[in-house]
Amino acid sequence: MLALDPDAAGDQATLRGLQVARQAMDHETGLCFDARGLLRSERRLKADIRVTTLPGGMDPDEVVARDPRNGSGLLVRPNR
């Protein structure tokens, strides 16, 4: 888990982290259809990466401090 502040610097760090993950993690290649219905080859990360926003623009430490029992669960709970 990587928890970053919800500001411009945190947004940029998130994008950099995704780029690093894309380069460093293992990939698999598969076939899929594009929007026009044409078959194409696609590389996919062998990872489950999820990005979420924090409630009310709070910093990660504030979320956990506010509710230590459930705060960390918010950071790792998948969006539905």
Q: Taking 70 as the threshold, does the pLDDT of residue 36 lie above it?
A: yes
Residue 28, CA atoms < 13 Å, CB-side half-sphere: 5
pTM (predicted TM-score): 0.58
The answer to whether residues 45 and 27 touch, using CB atoms and an 8 Å cutoff, is yes
- Cα(76)–Cα(14) distance, integer angstroms: 15
Read off the pLDDT of each residue in 29-56 and give the average, rounded to a whole number: 86
Query: Residue 78's pLDDT is what?
Result: 52
Read off the pLDDT of each residue in 11-24 and give the average, rounded to a whole number: 89
Q: How far is CA 22 from CA 26, 28, 36, 58, in A?
A: 8, 12, 26, 27
